[in-house]
Chains A and B, each alone.
Chain A
Amino acid sequence: MDIVFYVAAAIAVLTTVRVISHTNPVHALLYLIVSLLAVAVVFFSMGANFAGALEIIVYAGAIMVLFVFVVMMLNLGGEEIRQERQWLSPSLWIGPGIISALLLIAMVYGINSLQHGAIHYHMLGGKSVGVSLFGPYVLAVELASLLLLAGLVVAFHVGRDKTKLDSMEEEA
C-alpha cells in the first residue's frame, strides 16, 4: 500500500501546483478535481474508506461539478487569461514562496522527528465513523448544523436576487 500512497500523494501535489499556476480557469478546475481524487486515493490507501468516499462524493462530485458548470457558463477566456498571466509574475509570488518554503522545511523536519512515523493500513469503515459521530461527538455534529445554518443565512442575505424580491413584494 505504500506505493499507492506515495504515487497518489505525488499526483495530488503536482496537480495542485498546476491549479495555482494554470491561467485557464476551466483547466485549473479540472486539475483540482484530479487533485481531490488523488487525495481520496490517499485516504483509501490508509484504510479510511469512509473519508475517501466522502471526498469523492462531496468534493469531486458535487462541489467541483458545480464550480465547473458555473465557470463554463461565465465563459471566461481571453481577457481573464491575460490578467491571470500578469498576476503570475515572479515578483508577486517569490516572497510568499520563500516564506512558504521555510514553513515546509520546518514541517518536514517536524514530521521526520516522529518516532512512530510509518504508514499503517488500518481499516476504518462507515460504522465506526458513525459510532463516534453519534456517540462522543454528537454535540459537535449538532453545532456543525448550526454553522451550516449561519452559512445559509449569510448566503441568502447577500446573494438573493434583489429585483425579483421587490416585484414579489409588489404583487403581495
Chain B
Amino acid sequence: MSISIQQLAAFSPLLIVDLSVIVVMLAIAWRRCHKMTAGLSIIGLIAAILSLFFVSGDIPAHLTSLLQVDGFTLFYSALVLIAGLATCIFGYSWLKEHQDNKDEFYLLVLISTGGAILLACANHIATLFLGIELVSLPLFGLVGYVFQQKPSLEASIKYMLLSAGASAFMLFGMALLYADTGTLSFAGIASGLGQSMDQQPLLLVGIGMLLVGICFKLSLAPFHLWTPDVYQGAPAPVATFLATSSKIAIFAVLVRIFIEAPLIDLPSVKLVLSVIAIASILFGNFMAVSQTNIKRLLGYSSIAHLGYLLIVLVAIKDRQLAIETTGVYLVGYLFASLGSFGAVSLLSSPNRGQDVEEISDYRGLFKRRPLIAVVMSLMMLSLAGIPMTLGFIGKFYVLAVAMQGSLWWLSAAVVVGSAIGLYYYLRVAVSVFLPSLNGHVAEVVETSSLSIKAGALVLLVSAAIVVILGVYPQPLIDCVQFAKPW
C-alpha cells in the first residue's frame, strides 16, 4: 500500500498540527521561553486554519481505510482549531504569572487539537478510539495543570479515573461490534446493521457500550456527575477547551456514525437517546439554577446544551436539516463558550489563588472592565437563546428539527429547559451591571499588556460573530450546507 503526496496534502490540517507539536517540543527542549512556545503554537494553529482553504479543492479524499476528508471534516476541523487558538491566547495571559513550567500547556493543547481533527476525519472505529484518547489524555494533564492547587489536582484525578472507565466500556463495545460484524469501518458496521437487526442482540450490547463511553465524554445525563467538579477545578482556559473542542469533535464523529449507519432505526436506541436528551436538558438546567460558582453553572449549562443537540441524532432521518442544525448550534455554542470562559480566564491568574469564579465577584464588573462585562452578558444572552443572537438561531433549528420529526416530548423538554435557563443566564448577565459588594476581588487589573489585548480581541470577535450571525445567519447557513459527510 502506498500513500501519494496528493492524498497526504488533503490531510494537511492534521499534519500541520502534528508537525507543530514536534516543533514546539524541540523548541522547549532547546530553550524554555514562554513567548516563543506560545508564538510557535499559535502560528501552527493559524497555518492549519489557512490550510483548510487550500484543502477544500481536493475533497472528498481518503487515506488508507482509516481517514477521510470531506466538507464535514473541514467544517468541524475549523471549529476545533478556532477553539485551540482561543485557548492558547487565553492561556498565554493566564499563565504569564504562573511560577512553574508554562510550556507544556501549549504542547498538550496542540496534541488534543490534533486528536479533535482526527475525530473529524474518522471513518473507522480504530481512528475513533485513537481520536477520543488523543483528545482526553492531554486533558488529564491540562485539568491538573496547576496541581499545586488542590481543586485542580482533584479534578484531574476524577476526570482521569472516570474517563478511563468510560474508555474501557467503549473498547469492550467496539470488540463486541467487531465480533458481530467482522469489520471496524463505519460503512462495514452499517452494512452489518442492515441485515435483520432484531436478531443481533450482541450488536445492540456493543452499540450500547459504545454509547455509554461517548455519552460520558459528552457529559450527558446519567454520565454527567464529573462535569461540574472538573469544570470548577480546571484552570479557566482549560475549561474553555474542555467545553468546546473535545465536545464539538466527539459530537461531530457521533453525527457521522449515525448518518453512516441507520442506528436510529433501532427502537431501543431511539428510546434511550430520547430519554438521555430529556434527562440532560432538565437535569442540567435545574441544577444550574442553584449554582453560585460561574464555572459550575457553565458546566451544568453545557450538559443542557448537549442535551438539546442530542435531539438532532434522534431526528437524523432528515439528513440535510440535521447537519444544518448541528453546524449552526455548535458554532453558536463554540463562540458563546469561548466568550464566557474567556472572560473568566482574562480576569483570573494562577498567582492569585483560585480563579475569579463566584457570581458575586462579577458585580460591578461593568464599572471596572466594561468590555469584558458587556461580552459576558452578551454571551449569557446567546446561551439562553435570546433573539438577535446566534444562540437563538441554533435553538430555533433544534425546535424545527424536533417538530419536523414529530418528537413532541423532546420539543416540550426544549421549551421547559429554555425557560429555566433564562432565569440563571439572566442572573449572571444582570449581575455584572449591579454595584459591587464591599470586599476585595482578586482579579487581574492590568489591561495594557499585549496578551490581555489579544485575549480581549478574541472576546470581541466572538461577541461580534454571535451578534452579526444572530441577525444575519445566511453566510453561516451557506457554510454549513457545504459541510456534508456524503
- The finding on whether chains A and B are genuine partners in a shared complex, rather than unrelated, reads yes
**Which candidate, B129-137, B367-375, B456-464, is the interface stretch facing chain A?**
B129-137
Residues 135-180 of B contacting A (Cβ, < 8 Å):
137-138, 140-141, 144-145, 147, 156, 176, 179-180
* Other-chain contact of A139, B67, B101, B137, B156 (Cβ < 8 Å): B67
A110-B205, A114-B180, A154-B108 known; A143 vs B118 contact (CB < 8 Å): yes
Shortest beta-carbon distance from B102 to chain A in Å: 10
A146 within 8 A of B: yes
Give complex CA distance A149, B138 in Å.
9
Give complex CA distance A147, B115 in Å.
9
A1 within 8 A of B: no
Shortest beta-carbon distance from B116 to chain A in Å: 13
Please encode chain B, from 179 to 195, with 1 for each CB lying within 8 Å of some chain A CB and 0 for all others: 11000000000000000
A137-B66, A137-B126, A153-B141 known; A110 vs B204 contact (CB < 8 Å): yes
Is there an interface contact between B140 and A154, defined as CB atoms closer than 8 Å? yes
A109 contact set on B, CB distance < 8 A: 201
Is there an interface contact between A158 and B126, defined as CB atoms closer than 8 Å? no
A106 contact set on B, CB distance < 8 A: 201, 205
Is there an interface contact between B202 and A140, defined as CB atoms closer than 8 Å? no
* Other-chain contact of B101, A140, A144, A149, A157 (Cβ < 8 Å): A157
A150 within 8 A of B: yes
Is there an interface contact between B205 and A107, defined as CB atoms closer than 8 Å? yes
A95 within 8 A of B: no
Shortest beta-carbon distance from B227 to chain A in Å: 21
A136 contact set on B, CB distance < 8 A: 1, 64-66
Residue of A135, A137, A143, A144 ringed by the most chain B CB atoms within 10 A: A143
B406 within 8 A of A: no
Is there an interface contact between A113 and B64, defined as CB atoms closer than 8 Å? no
Is there an interface contact between A139 and B141, defined as CB atoms closer than 8 Å? no
A97 within 8 A of B: no
Is there an interface contact between A110 and B176, defined as CB atoms closer than 8 Å? yes
Give complex CA distance A110, B179 in Å.
11
Shortest beta-carbon distance from A124 to chain B in Å: 15
Shortest beta-carbon distance from B233 to chain A in Å: 14
A143-B130, A147-B133 known; A110 vs B138 contact (CB < 8 Å): no
Chain B interface residue count: which class?
Answer: 35 or more
A98 contact set on B, CB distance < 8 A: none
- B124, closest chain A residue (CB): A140
A111 within 8 A of B: yes
B107 within 8 A of A: yes
B315 contact set on A, CB distance < 8 A: none
Is there an interface contact between A113 and B199, defined as CB atoms closer than 8 Å? yes
B200 within 8 A of A: yes
Give complex CA distance A157, B138 in Å.
11
B443 within 8 A of A: no
- B202, closest chain A residue (CB): A110
Is there an interface contact between B21 and A146, defined as CB atoms closer than 8 Å? yes
B63 within 8 A of A: yes
* Other-chain contact of A147, B108, B137, B205 (Cβ < 8 Å): B137
Is there an interface contact between B141 and A158, defined as CB atoms closer than 8 Å? yes
Chain A binding surface, main DSSP class: helix
Give complex CA distance A127, B318 in Å.
46
* Other-chain contact of B134, A110, A113, A138, A143 (Cβ < 8 Å): A143
Give complex CA distance A120, B141 in Å.
43
Is there an interface contact between A158 and B201, defined as CB atoms closer than 8 Å? no
B127 within 8 A of A: yes
- A115, closest chain B residue (CB): B199
Give complex CA distance A49, B130 in Å.
25
A93 within 8 A of B: no
B18 within 8 A of A: yes
Is there an interface contact between B130 and A151, defined as CB atoms closer than 8 Å? no
B1 contact set on A, CB distance < 8 A: 135-136, 138
Is there an interface contact between B67 and A113, defined as CB atoms closer than 8 Å? no
Is there an interface contact between B108 and A140, defined as CB atoms closer than 8 Å? no
Is there an interface contact between A140 and B130, defined as CB atoms closer than 8 Å? yes
B114 within 8 A of A: yes
Give complex CA distance A137, B202 in Å.
26
Give complex CA distance A110, B67 in Å.
30
Is there an interface contact between A157 and B66, defined as CB atoms closer than 8 Å? no
B140 contact set on A, CB distance < 8 A: 154
Give complex CA distance A137, B134 in Å.
17
B111 within 8 A of A: yes
- B65, closest chain A residue (CB): A136
Is there an interface contact between B137 and A151, defined as CB atoms closer than 8 Å? yes
- B182, closest chain A residue (CB): A116
B260 within 8 A of A: no
B104 within 8 A of A: yes
Is there an interface contact between B137 and A150, defined as CB atoms closer than 8 Å? yes
A153 contact set on B, CB distance < 8 A: 104, 107-108, 111, 138, 141
Shortest beta-carbon distance from B186 to chain A in Å: 15
- B18, closest chain A residue (CB): A146
Is there an interface contact between B130 and A154, defined as CB atoms closer than 8 Å? no
Shortest beta-carbon distance from B200 to chain A in Å: 7
Other 5 A-B pairs with CB < 8 A, given A146-B111, A147-B134: A114-B180, A137-B64, A137-B66, A147-B133, A150-B138
> Across chains A and B, which 3 residue pairs bring their CB atoms closest together, nearest first?
A154-B141, A110-B202, A110-B201
Q: What are 21 pairs between A and B in contact, CB < 8 Å?
A: A106-B201, A107-B176, A107-B202, A109-B201, A111-B202, A113-B200, A113-B201, A113-B202, A139-B127, A140-B66, A140-B126, A146-B111, A150-B111, A150-B112, A150-B137, A153-B111, A154-B108, A154-B137, A154-B138, A156-B104, A157-B145
Binding site for A on B (CB under 8 A): 1, 18, 21, 25, 63-67, 101, 104, 107-108, 111-112, 114, 118, 126-127, 130, 133-134, 137-138, 140-141, 144-145, 147, 156, 176, 179-180, 199-206
Binding site for B on A (CB under 8 A): 106-107, 109-111, 113-114, 135-140, 143-144, 146-147, 149-151, 153-154, 156-158
